[in-house]
Structure 1
């Protein structure tokens, strides 16, 4: 075997290893995102949009979403802004609750908890820039009581979670989550929503 052929084979081998390394790194970096997106797609099929759905209690190996806290109860509402602004309200009997607004890809857009909400209750409005312009022309009476979140995301979901201190409190917490509202604000529902990925 000639020296030139050996050099050529060695270069091919190094190039193959380099390419395999790039593919390996790409897979490692993208798999978590695909797994998360698939989990969120499953959650979108829990039930109708614009309604909070209480998730099953967290059990090892059977989490409805990655990295849910087993000490918490969870409820989720999926929405599309093309259907109008989303009005969120909840009053949960728990020493601690939090709310996170996610975009369609599962990235957190906004979050708050009962200590930062002002009143200790959830009162929020999520809408697009165009919908906010319409809302300013004809605002609802209690607009000043709502936290207004303007977003360029066409769809997303809200994850509401509440701490369950002990077993007797679990029923009250789940009742509070089941009573949470995720509904359309009609007065600004005619505005177009942003395009996906916008």
Structure 2
């Protein structure tokens, strides 16, 4: 009888230790899961905010190993980004970058590419003139189109926010300053009523 009680007591202690271990393991698991978001790098959309105000192109610092402003940027290129929200109205993007190469890409807030082109496919003598807007904004704009709409690249999207990335090849040190000035002159702003006809 004493043996049975000791065995029962031993099993109770074992069950209590197991229960405490499971409880402690659950707390550690929850703490780990809750801490993961703090360890994940910010999205590109969030990181871009550090380089300047929304609604305009902001030059990114040079891309160097271990110090990239955004992941996977080509160090032979100059980069400028512009965050936008279509709630502010259709987005007008204009740039006139010199040869030999430039490209433009539009990303949603998750960092997924939704449109891209380069100087050879722009169809406007190497000049970029694009209008980014929602289906609803396009329907309204067709009633009173802005001057020159037929010459613009119209990008209709369901995304409400995101960012544009402008890249230009920076291979000639003598042309570097002119390229910086051309990228600085690029515009990325909500379409205003003054530009409509």
TM interval, short-chain normalised: 0.7 to 0.9
What is residue 195 of structure 1 aligned with on the other side? none
8 Å contact kept, 2:45–2:162:
no
What is residue 148 of structure 2 aligned with on the other side? 142
Q: Distance in 2 between matches of 1:87 and 1:39?
A: 21
Question: Cα distance, 1:129 vs. partner?
Answer: 0.6
Highest CA radius of gyration, 1 or 2? 2
8 Å contact kept, 1:94–1:173:
no
Question: Cα distance, 1:172 vs. partner?
Answer: 1.4
What is residue 18 of structure 1 aligned with on the other side? none
The alignment covers a number of residue pairs equal to: 156
Task: Name stretches of at least 5 consecutive residues in structure 1 with no aligned partner.
Answer: 1-30, 188-198
SS at match of 2:50: coil
1:166 to 169, 172, 184: 172
Confirm whether residue 73 of structure 1 aligns to residue 78 of structure 2: yes
Question: Cα distance, 1:109 vs. partner?
Answer: 0.1
What is residue 96 of structure 2 aligned with on the other side? 91
Normalising by structure 2, report the TM-score.
0.75
2:134 to 120, 128, 150: 128
Question: Cα distance, 1:108 vs. partner?
Answer: 0.3
2:182 to 176, 184, 187: 176
Normalising by structure 1, report the TM-score.
0.74
Q: Distance in 2 between matches of 1:141 and 1:92?
A: 22
Question: Cα distance, 1:165 vs. partner?
Answer: 1.6
Q: RMSD across aligned C-alpha pairs, in angstroms?
A: 1.8
